[in-house]
Structure 1
Amino acid sequence: MADANRPDVAEREPGGDLGPQRPAGSLRTTSENAGRNLKEWLKEQFCDQPIENCQDTRLHDAAYVGDLPTIQKLLQEDSFQSRINEKSVWSCGWLPCTPLRIAATAGHGHCVEFLIQKGAEIDLVDVKGQTALYVAVVHGHLECVRILLEAGADPNGSHHHRSTPVYHAARVGRADILRELIKYGANVDVNHHVTSATSSPTFRPLTCLVVCPLYISAAYHNLQCFKVLLEAGANPDFNCCGPVDIQNFSRGSAVCIMDAVLRHGCDKAFVSLLIDFGANLNLVKWETLEEGAPGRIRVNSEGMQMFKEAKSCPRRLMSLCRVAVRRGLGKCPLHLISALPLPDPIKKFLLHEQ
């Protein structure tokens, strides 16, 4: 769904394609049946029990309102314990969800924790491919996010859903949630290779800039998230893994993160961070920065000036060394830099703390 404040960054929810358009005159005759039939179809496809056996939604309703005593009482019964992972259409809505998914959506951490203790499967997905962790991130429930991650939830969400917890946290500016996801191993780069369970990865070169966590944090001017992602080892040029075919990028489109930052008129602090973290300034061609260039949104004059000055001067040797060391360590060990047997000033330098 496109954000009203950012018309230049369009997003569509999975399944958001409206499909073929019906004639206007047919809408009235089908609208009433459409809602009922969709609800029945969802029940048939995604409820673990037949429709006639899905009427007792007390466990789901208790999870929605955060009624832990009722959940504890119900789960003493074998019938409810055996249905703890049932995706039921509950009385407060018609999206088939598990009790854990519902509690995570509503932000009831104590219920989330208890349901996990009683055997709720953490990474089950709903009809939209969303995990309990993803919806907890979407609704900004930091406590639920921590509980789910500590219990072993996949910090990258589900491959059935094209958004990820990291992407959403970066988009809405929740640096606190982003740090938790990264702490538990979330991938801050996007892997654009097409993979399947039966085939090896297809190494298709990237031919356009991916709307990735680093990009989206810049587009929404979320500086803290932008910094957290770079500190965690996000690729400062493309924020993705795999080969890149920059020669086949669309003419006039952003060719790297720095180009996107300049086009979105980001504050010079964004430019400074990319420079510090080793972005390749030569990827941005002068002709793409001329006045009236296609795809231009707005330009921050201070940010542009900082970029031009940095591009015209050679990088400092200390800066090059820091970039080389960090890249040599890779992403996963970056948080272990503080434990290295090095003098504190060097560790702080490698961690960009000075």
Structure 2
Amino acid sequence: MDWDDGGREVAMRGRWPRTQIRGGGRPTLGSCIRLDSWSDRTPLHEAAYQGRLLHLRSLIAQGFHVDTLTMDRVSPLHEACLGGHYACAKFLLDNGANAEAVSTDGATPLFNSCSSGSAACVRLILQHGASISSPYQLASPVHEAAKRDHRECLELLLSYGAHIDVELPVVGTPLYSACMAQAAACVEVLLHSGADVQLGCGQDSPLHAAVQSGGANIVDHLLDFGADGCCRNAEGKTPLDLSTPNSTVRAALQKRGPCSLSQLCRFCIRRSLGRNRLHRASSLFLPHSIKDFLLYQ
């Protein structure tokens, strides 16, 4: 549908080409929702995406429905979260917007909040009871936050119970996604939160991903947390096999010898505690230096 200046529906005047993106800069699926059509976007969607709260209030007062959808089932709340506009998102939710609206590409307001990196929007959507898991596997909020290196968004999702080791086809685990994207801050969050350092995408480990993306600092971090430098992927290749000769990544792999006894003990104790009890290590009756060692502090 198109809309006239008074907000009334008029006949649809045709659709924009599927590949056309307004302004040349709107993100597409992989980073957020994809809109196949711009012709059915309403002033409500535009105001939400641009963060124009007063205009949004005026349009709702004129009778626009808070959950008006485009042909791809994109709501104004989707757009507010994609723009990272907390005030607009809160106004829409306070007026009954659906926090779990799903576009035809499976994107939710929570996914779009993670894409924009707005921790305020992530917290707001979660407080309104939105599900952390996604019905559409390529639009997972925790994977989106991890690969975009939005640390605070990721920490919020984990605190609300997001599955830290969920493995999806193509994208693998959140840790694998973060390693592929060289998202060092989120790699650190995931490892300290107890992510399995061996789980990646199929037989590809996070270490394989870090080597392929060229992140020497991430390779070091994975090895510190017990990544197996000798594991082989589906093609029978180790991380060293995938490294470029004379690269910093190869140097990082080659300088590591066998794990020390203290390292092996740390791995064993952390596994025994389990991911859900790692935070309790700080309350153990142990010297502070040992507790810090267990928690990589």
The residue that corresponds to 1:163 in the other structure is 139
CA distance 1:87–1:300, shift in 2 (3 Å)? farther
The residue that corresponds to 1:329 in the other structure is 273
Once residues 88 and 301 of structure 1 are traced to their aligned partners in structure 2, the CA distance between those partners, rounded to angstroms, is 49
Provide the aligned length of Structure 1 versus Structure 2: 264
Once residues 284 and 128 of structure 2 are traced to their aligned partners in structure 1, the CA distance between those partners, rounded to angstroms, is 28
Asked if structure 1 preserves the Cα contact closer than 8 Å seen for 2:49 and 2:79, the reply is: yes
Asked if structure 2 preserves the Cα contact closer than 8 Å seen for 1:189 and 1:235, the reply is: yes
**What is the root-mean-square deviation in Å for CA atoms of aligned residues?**
3.8
The residue that corresponds to 2:221 in the other structure is 273
The residue that corresponds to 2:66 in the other structure is 84
Asked if structure 2 preserves the Cα contact closer than 8 Å seen for 1:155 and 1:181, the reply is: yes
Asked if structure 1 preserves the Cα contact closer than 8 Å seen for 2:229 and 2:238, the reply is: no
When the two structures are superposed, what TM-score results if normalisation uses the length of structure 1? Answer: 0.61
CA distance 1:176–1:307, shift in 2 (3 Å)? same
- Partner SS state of residue 230, structure 2: helix
Task: State the Cα deviation string for residues 90-140 of structure 1 (Å, max 9, x = none).
Answer: xxxxx5422211211222201212222333221211121100111122223
Asked if structure 2 preserves the Cα contact closer than 8 Å seen for 1:133 and 1:153, the reply is: yes
Deviation of residue 161 (structure 1)?
4.1
The residue that corresponds to 1:22 in the other structure is none
1:1-354 aligned at under 5 Å gives the runs 35=16, 57=42, 59-72=44-57, 83-88=65-70, 95-156=72-133, 158-192=134-168, 211-239=172-200, 255-267=204-216, 269-284=217-232, 288=237, 296=242, 298-299=244-245, 301-310=247-256, 312-313=257-258, 315-338=259-282, 342-353=286-297
Once residues 293 and 61 of structure 2 are traced to their aligned partners in structure 1, the CA distance between those partners, rounded to angstroms, is 55
The residue that corresponds to 1:20 in the other structure is none
- Partner SS state of residue 216, structure 1: helix
CA distance 1:103–1:326, shift in 2 (3 Å)? same
For structure 2, the 5+ residue unaligned runs are: 1-12, 20-39
Identity fraction in percent? 32
The one-letter code sitting in structure 2 at the alignment partner of 1:134 is F
CA distance 1:330–1:123, shift in 2 (3 Å)? farther
Asked if structure 2 preserves the Cα contact closer than 8 Å seen for 1:210 and 1:238, the reply is: no
Task: State the Cα deviation string for residues 17-50 of structure 1 (Å, max 9, x = none).
Answer: xxxxxxxxxxxxxxx9775899xxxxxxxxxxxx
Larger radius of gyration: 1
Once residues 18 and 171 of structure 2 are traced to their aligned partners in structure 1, the CA distance between those partners, rounded to angstroms, is 37
Deviation of residue 70 (structure 1)?
4.8
CA distance 1:309–1:150, shift in 2 (3 Å)? same
When the two structures are superposed, what TM-score results if normalisation uses the length of structure 2? Answer: 0.71
For structure 1, the 5+ residue unaligned runs are: 1-31, 39-54, 90-94, 194-208, 247-254
The residue that corresponds to 1:29 in the other structure is none
